Amino acid sequence: MVSVDVISEEDDMMTVLFKDSDRALLNAVRRNLMGHIPKMAIDTVRFQMGTYDQCTKCEHLNPAGVARRTAGGTGCMKCEAAFEKEGDDYVVWETNYAIPDEMIAQRVAMIPIPTDPEAYYFEGDCPDCKDLVEEDRGCPTCNMIYTLRAFGAKGGKTITARDLTFLGDDSGNVPEAYRDIPITVLHEGQMIEFWATARMGYGVNHAKWSPTAGVTFEPRQTASIANDKKAKTLFDMGLRVSKKDFKDGRLDDVSKVSALKKDLHNVGAGTGMSEDFDDAITLENVEGEFLLSFETDGSMTPKAALNASFSKLEQRFASIKEDIEHVIG
Ligand SMILES: [Zn+2]
Ligand SMILES: [Zn+2]
């Protein structure tokens, strides 16, 4: 029976040890983590285009031209201040900037959207709108809507994920650690305005729907000292692992072994020490044991991603079993 132990866990990184397992299973988990975890990501961005005269008195945005005295306008549509001189009475803002809208949409898509798979459905499974034609789908149980309206400044102002506003409670806001992701830089007179829709999807269809990165696995290894005298070459360097960490010439602890592997780079080929050291410490794979490690992008915790991967695998294996039974039966 496969067992899984958590070796280390941080907000966005995790290492787990699989026992009684094999490479096929680990690879299935790895591929699932990358491509088959339900995740929210911004999928469509609707850009607002236009030019505005912003009232310097009340900051109201008036449609370009219509409020200006020179165009026969009667002043600010909110506070009625006269618009006579640009710069004094009003400032002109235009939705015009250096980066094309497509690139901005791509950047916004890659910003991690906090994903609660219990709270949202895929559009195709949504109880409220799955029966509608595809273009008409999208409701509060399957879409998350974000808006952004930002203005530039002299010398350039960086617009970041912090400027995205989620239309809903705090749970939908981009996590604090990721709010400095840049979207674009705006200069004086430049503004950007859009609303964006996040939908559930899978990493196999686009990287924005993959919550994980750097998913790797390797056999668990143990170390043993083959030659006490030569092993001293390494221990004398005073690095991460010392002789004391070994019990009867053996080292089993997972994190100590991984530290030792880093230490061994100091006595390996090309270091000038490899002859003195002469493979005095050897590493050995442990049968059926593997270390899986990965990072998440901030849209969910590593544990949530791993659990989602397990339940997805369970579903897929169950359906294969059903198919086989159907064929044989
Ligand atoms: Zn005004
Ligand atoms: Zn819906």
| Residue-range domains of the chain with CATH | 3-37+212-296 (3.30.1360.10), 40-49+95-208 (2.170.120.12)
pLDDT at position 329 is 74
pLDDT category at 30 given cuts 50, 70, 90 is very high
Ligand 1 midpoint to CA 1 (Å)? 71
Ligand nearest to the CA of 83: 1
Residues with CB under 5 A from ligand 2 (ion): 126, 128-129, 139, 141-142
CA–CA gap between residue 112 and residue 109 (Å, rounded): 8
The sign of the dihedral angle between the CA atoms of 270, 271, 272, 277 is negative
Ligand 1 midpoint to CA 67 (Å)? 10
pLDDT at position 122 is 95
**pLDDT digit string (tens) for 178-230?**
999 999 999 999 999 999 999 999 999 999 999 999 999 999 999 999 999 99
Alpha helices in the chain (DSSP H): 23-35, 101-109, 228-235, 254-264, 274-277, 302-328
Ligand 2 midpoint to CA 131 (Å)? 10
The pTM for the full model equals 0.85
pLDDT at position 112 is 97
CA–CA gap between residue 176 and residue 50 (Å, rounded): 31
Ligand 2 midpoint to CA 135 (Å)? 12
pLDDT at position 40 is 97
**pLDDT digit string (tens) for 244-278?**
999 999 999 999 999 999 999 999 989 999 999 99
Ligand 2 midpoint to CA 312 (Å)? 22
User: 109 vs 5, 38, 117, 201, 232, CA distance in Å?
Assistant: 34, 15, 18, 12, 52
Ligand 1 midpoint to CA 160 (Å)? 28
H/E element, 163? none
Ligand nearest to the CA of 138: 2
User: 327 vs 315, 319, 321, CA distance in Å?
Assistant: 19, 12, 10
pLDDT at position 70 is 87
User: 98 vs 108, 153, 187, CA distance in Å?
Assistant: 16, 14, 9
